[in-house]
Structure 1
Amino acid sequence: MNSILITGCNRGLGLGIVKTLVKLPQPPKHIFATCRDSDKATELKDLAASHSSIHILEIDLLNFNNYGNLISQISEVVKDGGLNVLFNNAGFAPKSTRITTVKLEELMRALHTNTVVPIMLSKACLPLLKRASITNKNIAMGVRRAAIINMSSILGSIEANTDGAIYAYRTSKAALNAATKSMSIDLLKDGILCVCLHPGWVRTDMGGDNAPLDVSTSSRMIIEILLKFNEMNNGGFYQYDGQKLPW
């Protein structure tokens, strides 16, 4: 892939994916990494200082009015090549999980961050993604042509839910899965791959210290599987190792 936009790169999986990409034998020419506050993204800034391919874009993704400026910044860099991949990674997981403790503000924030942001950012990026798809029309559907990758979770699977609870996070990710499926249908004619991905249970601020996977392992396997995805994977829900997950 020539260019990729990844949200939520100040820490965790977003940062891990950026680290993985720059280590590829043929890394992307342009890696656009968003964060809310670049002053707090010390590790990302250090990485960008030694890799000119990394462009740090400061944005609060909940401020939808700023999307136009974000797209303009990316367009100035990629020009006629467009944007190959939008990776909607940024997410929010509330601490309250039970029906007796769930809070309205947590539900709303989860839905806005985990569902509304990926939908609206995908919409904003469509002209750039379509441009990339047209430019690479002789390449098979996948991340080397044009793709939207939405970071979901197994907790968004309705079929796999045997424990209940986790209302805000489960519902927001289930809604994201539904949106991704619709995108895969609506954008098929444009040659844009749309997939939702479960990164595994990873040791991050969100996943906690007991998670079995470290960030570098999950990130590496995510990139490996993304590079293999094709039109047969369009509209699917997959785990970091390529296993297809139940809706």
Structure 2
Amino acid sequence: MKSVLITGANRGLGLGMVKYLTKHNKAENIFATCRTTSEELKNVAQEYKNLHILHLDVKNTTNYVDLSPQISKVMGTQGLNLLINNAGISTKFTKLNLVKAEQLLENLTVNTIAPIMLTKALIPLLKQAAELNKDKPVSAYRAAVINMSSVLGSIAQNDQGGFYPYRCSKAALNAATKSMSIDLKKDQILVASMHPGWVKTDMGGKNAPLDVETSVSGIFETVGKLGEADSGKFLQYDGTELPW
């Protein structure tokens, strides 16, 4: 791939993605966005000159327009091959008797509204890449959007209840993914939702069975295999299709 943009790249899964792509030389240019740059991300950027750190607070949708010129400054007219909407949050108290309106709103803002509006803002660059790589099949090597979702966003697999802010925001993101896949089909842009597994991160906690490296390598192995028939699907990091 010529270019990949990852949101929420300063820690956890996003940082793991950045490390994987740089270490394995999977992309010519990597754009890592975050609200606050971590020391670890800075260190990776010092080692790999093809990693570009861009400031982005996903809650501030009005600043999304600033991203395209920064990407184009590096990429010229090559556009953006892969957008990974990874930035996300989860709240602690999510049982029905404890849930608060502000928790629901914050989760929806970061986990649902931000990916939709950022994709909207970057459509011209994705279209540019899709057109430039029209000799390639519909895939991440042409142009694609991967929305990092969660199995907790699956309505069919919800057998525990609770988690209202997070579940609702991820179910809504899945709905957006499906609509995006339909709306961007004519532009030959692939769109899919992906569950990274239950991963040992600040969000996933120490009891999670999966380490970041295993999840990330699975994610990119799966993304690399996706084709036109996979657009609009909800997939696990290992390629298993999940029910909506």
TM-score of the superposition, structure 2-length normalised? 0.99
Distance of 1:129 and 1:177 partners within structure 2: 20
Aligned to 1:196: 193
Structure 1 counterpart of 2:20, one-letter code: T
Distance of 1:62 and 1:74 partners within structure 2: 20
- CA shift for structure 1 position 102: 0.4
Unaligned ranges ≥5, structure 2 = none
Distance of 1:191 and 1:131 partners within structure 2: 11
Question: Cα RMSD over matched residues?
Answer: 0.7
Q: Within 5 A, what are the aligned runs for 1:118-137?
A: 118-137=115-134
Unaligned ranges ≥5, structure 1 = none
Structure 2 counterpart of 1:86, one-letter code: L
- Describe the SS at the equivalent of 1:32: strand
Distance of 1:182 and 1:60 partners within structure 2: 25
Q: Within 5 A, what are the aligned runs for 1:208-247?
A: 208-247=205-244
- Describe the SS at the equivalent of 1:90: coil
Aligned to 2:20: 20
2:63 pairs with 1:74: no
- CA shift for structure 1 position 14: 0.1
Aligned to 1:151: 148
Aligned to 1:95: 92
Q: In percent, how many aligned pairs have the same letter?
A: 56
2:9 pairs with 1:5: no
- CA shift for structure 1 position 23: 2.2
Q: Within 5 A, what are the aligned runs for 1:157-196?
A: 157-196=154-193
Distance of 2:68 and 2:234 partners within structure 1: 27
Distance of 2:95 and 2:26 partners within structure 1: 43
Distance of 1:200 and 1:214 partners within structure 2: 9
TM-score of the superposition, structure 1-length normalised? 0.98
**Number of residues paired by the alignment?**
244
- Describe the SS at the equivalent of 1:162: coil
Aligned to 1:35: 34
Give CA deviations for 1:157-181 in whole Å, capped at 9, x if unaligned. 0000000000000000000000000
Structure 1 counterpart of 2:209, one-letter code: P
Distance of 1:114 and 1:140 partners within structure 2: 29
- CA shift for structure 1 position 27: 2.2
